[in-house]
A and B are shown apart, each in its own frame.
Chain A
Amino acid sequence: MQQTEIYQLLKQKYGFDDFRPGQYDVISDLLAGQDVLAVLPTGTGKSLIYQFVGNVLPGLVVVVSPLISLMQDQVARLNYQGEKRVAALTSQVDFKTRQTVLNQLASLNYLFVSPEMLKQSLVLSALQAVQLALFVVDEAHCISTWGPDFRPDYLGLGALKQQLGQPLTLMLTATATQAVRQDILTQMQVPQAKEVVYSVNRPNIYLAVETVNDEADKRARLQQLVTSTATPAIIYFSSKKQTDLIADWLRETTGLRVAAYHAGLSGESRFKIQQQFMADQLDVICATSAFGMGINKADIRLVVHYHLPTTLADYVQEIGRAGRDDQQSLAVLLYAPGDEQLVRNLNDLTAASANEIQLDYQRFQHHQKPVDDLAQVLQFYWEHQYAVDAVVTRFNQRQRAKATELSQLMAYVQTTTCRRAAMLAYFDEPAPEHTATCCQLAGTGLPVTALGLQATARTVTATVTPWSTVLDQLFLQNS
């Protein structure tokens, strides 16, 4: 396809005159039959890429996605755009619906699927029977950062791609260091894939780290931040319980419209909170990192991390929810000495000693089912004939890699020079010159006013709407 044709289609189908950075490169490479690993910053419209290619090439676009909530968001978004021939296959879909979807594969344009579901023989053979336009691995960094510990099924994606007859493949991620990119290409068995890498730098997000004394201090500072700074805001936590507690507390003490959002909520509640946030009916969302992976709100002004993220890559991904409208935004990481211990504890949860690994291998040999998370992860290795020694080595390497990730994150937190330079160094990118709107240097205050991010007047808290008023509002009747 010629460049002019591609632009014509963009105008005709999506109404845009120009692509966002990276989109054109990836699309033209894919249309030329080239597998692509695309590293594009959040907010660059990665889904447009596979939609565009799906429009041009005949067959089904299969999107492998790590989180059910993310898939549901993507399906909803395609529905919203008027695309009806789209379905998701996850563990939450009941057997009957799953069968219906598989029987209708040939008439679908997009299928979102979790890696666990993809490896099921029924799903795989149904996919082998239809033409595939494109095989997309979304959040492809999961192969590396999550793979060996949390999502072993991502490791099998390379083999599954072979079984699907080597379809044209697009690997998408917002953040990947050189090492992770290499890992993705190796695991996916596509060494010849083209790499399209755009900078992770988001110049309109001011980077700040505030060191506080303790938990009480941290709460007070958080309260001060959300009341004095422009919203909408997202506050990230590492535990569901804290998310709920602080959301309640902020709502009670600030009068702001605050909601908690995490995987413990019902699908209905998650939907409502997302929609309220999109409709500017919420000022602050307190979330675990599950939130935001699929949300597409352009005017988020503030992202606060109440706990440390696990890696700098995750951090960049999470603050990337801010300022998608290219307006000035603010990312604040609240740090109390010792916070890194929480990350270490989380890392330890996924660690395993040589002895534990050996014992689990015996479990496998005795044909016993895996009972805990660790055993589920190890099960993948045993099923793929890994030797115990090799698995022990992998686990050790993984723990060392996590320790390194944490020290890189701490280097960002504790740097006395430009934070943006420290962040970009992690991604092997050169730093732009430090300016007043770049980042907060150690020991300096937060220039909220200078950034134009002061809080504006806020609406009062919600009241009960009488049911007859609700009906009038919902249903417009011809009078």
Chain B
Amino acid sequence: MFADYVLLLFTTAPRRAKALFNVCRGRRTVSTLFAGLTADRLAWLDSWHGVPLSKFEAAANELVQAGWLQIPAPGYLQVTPAGVDQQKKLTQQLYQPVAWAQFQEVDVRRFNVLNQLALQVVSEFSHQTNRYYPVTTDQGMQATVKLWFRRWHSPQLVSQVVAELTGFLTTLPSPLADVFANSLTGFDFPGQTDQQLAQLFQRTPVEILVMRKDLNCRWIAWLRQQPTGPLAALLQPLVKANPVSVSAWQTYQDFQQGASLAQIATRRRLKMSTVREHLLEAAILTPSFPFEQLLQPETRQLLAETYAQTPSLTQWRFEQVQAVAPDLDFFYFRLYQIMRCQRAAD
């Protein structure tokens, strides 16, 4: 059940439900990312891309009905004592993803399609057939795989691909390697659907879905470690240097090279508020962010003193510091929160 995984998103501390759902759905606004950071759920970023918010909300309702979640304040959810027991049970029974952090740095969904098609092409090629229904009719995907195939086409291609797959599959505990292999498509082998895999392996379809997403992430992680083979080459263009969005990363680079926020805004023709949003995004997704360059010692001290009595930083209210320092921009308040959160995690 999808709701089981939704329950595992929450803890006994109250969390803004919509923000956490949006983390899963891959929304990259600063407030969403900040919620992901404070709840320690950034690893789920983009893992349920395309799933409508209403589906999450319906699952949350079920969990509230079941007594596992409660609503401490409108828009917030937290796990109940009964929910804690249920979570314990679920973590023992349900497959738990381990490699979803790949979603942050790799276009996982695009790689899934390319990988499926490339393996089909190589499989059919190894059987010397060229009349088959391609797994995707998407023009862009077909063109990418075609170029890739031309570049790697050689008598060794088949054995190279088998070596990569074997290398990866032998690292997996049972039955994961079988799930991965049985879902592939190729010569005289259409592959099993999630529904069928669920019956074969006696799991629910949602669990198979989670397992397969995670297997694709594990496959990607393995290929990033072994970057010389043909499939690693197919993956390579989809890997970003870091999880920060391209535009925010550029702002961050300019900043690191010593440009002031105002200079960046002029040079990149951005609003000052956008520059600040970019830096906040970079700060959330980069644990080594140089916070001290932006937060003067006085500001840090002011904020530390103001919130000394409030250990949980999700409960800090900006108005409190505003009362003492009316000119302080929200940007510095949020940046300081992020710093505290990053350093607490260390």
- Residues of chain A touching chain B, judged by Cβ–Cβ distance below 8 Å, are 72, 75-77, 79-82, 87-88, 93-94, 96-97, 100-101, 251, 259-260, 265-269, 271-276, 279, 281, 462-468, 470-471, 473-478
Pick from B133, B140, B158: contact of A79, CB under 8 Å: B133
User: A212 CA to B137 CA in the complex, in Å?
Assistant: 43
| Cβ contact within 8 Å between B177 and A96 | no
Q: Name the distance in Å between A112's Cβ and chain B's nearest Cβ.
A: 9
| Cβ contact within 8 Å between A269 and B201 | no
Please name all residues of chain B whose beta carbon is closer than 8 Å to the beta carbon of A76 when the two chains form the complex. 133-134, 137
| Cβ contact within 8 Å between A88 and B137 | yes
User: A407 CA to B275 CA in the complex, in Å?
Assistant: 67
| Cβ contact within 8 Å between B133 and A81 | no
User: A82 CA to B162 CA in the complex, in Å?
Assistant: 27
| Cβ contact within 8 Å between B130 and A82 | yes
Most buried by B among A266, A268, A467: A467
Pick from A260, A269, A274, A476: contact of B194, CB under 8 Å: A269
| Cβ contact within 8 Å between B158 and A477 | yes
Take A79-B133, A464-B201 as given contacts and tell me if A473 and B189 are in contact as well, using a CB distance cutoff of 8 Å.
Answer: yes
A-B contact pairs, 10 of them (CB 8 A): A72-B137, A79-B134, A97-B140, A464-B182, A464-B200, A464-B201, A467-B181, A471-B169, A474-B119, A476-B127
Q: Does B292 contact A (CB under 8 A)?
A: no
Take A81-B131, A275-B133, A464-B182 as given contacts and tell me if A471 and B193 are in contact as well, using a CB distance cutoff of 8 Å.
Answer: no
Take A82-B131, A271-B133 as given contacts and tell me if A471 and B166 are in contact as well, using a CB distance cutoff of 8 Å.
Answer: yes
Please name all residues of chain B whose beta carbon is closer than 8 Å to the beta carbon of A471 when the two chains form the complex. 162, 165-166, 169, 181
Please name all residues of chain A whose beta carbon is closer than 8 Å to the beta carbon of B131 when the two chains form the complex. 80-82
Take A79-B137, A88-B137 as given contacts and tell me if A273 and B193 are in contact as well, using a CB distance cutoff of 8 Å.
Answer: yes
Query: Which residues of B223-253 have CB atoms within 8 Å of chain A's CB atoms?
Result: none
Which residue in chain A gives the minimum CB-CB distance to B141? Answer: A97
| Cβ contact within 8 Å between A464 and B193 | no
Please name all residues of chain A whose beta carbon is closer than 8 Å to the beta carbon of B140 when the two chains form the complex. 94, 96-97, 100
Which residue in chain B gives the minimum CB-CB distance to A252? Answer: B199
Please name all residues of chain B whose beta carbon is closer than 8 Å to the beta carbon of A97 when the two chains form the complex. 138-140
Q: Does B178 contact A (CB under 8 A)?
A: yes
| Cβ contact within 8 Å between B190 and A276 | yes
| Cβ contact within 8 Å between A272 and B139 | no
Please name all residues of chain A whose beta carbon is closer than 8 Å to the beta carbon of B187 when the two chains form the complex. 473-474, 476
| Cβ contact within 8 Å between B135 and A268 | yes
Q: Name the distance in Å between B57's Cβ and chain A's nearest Cβ.
A: 19
| Cβ contact within 8 Å between B169 and A467 | yes
| Cβ contact within 8 Å between A467 and B200 | no
Q: Does B287 contact A (CB under 8 A)?
A: no
User: A462 CA to B108 CA in the complex, in Å?
Assistant: 30
Q: Does B87 contact A (CB under 8 A)?
A: no
Q: Name the distance in Å between B334's Cβ and chain A's nearest Cβ.
A: 33
User: A268 CA to B187 CA in the complex, in Å?
Assistant: 16
| Cβ contact within 8 Å between B134 and A476 | no
Closest 9 CB pairs of A and B: A275-B190, A467-B181, A470-B181, A474-B186, A269-B193, A75-B137, A467-B177, A476-B126, A474-B123
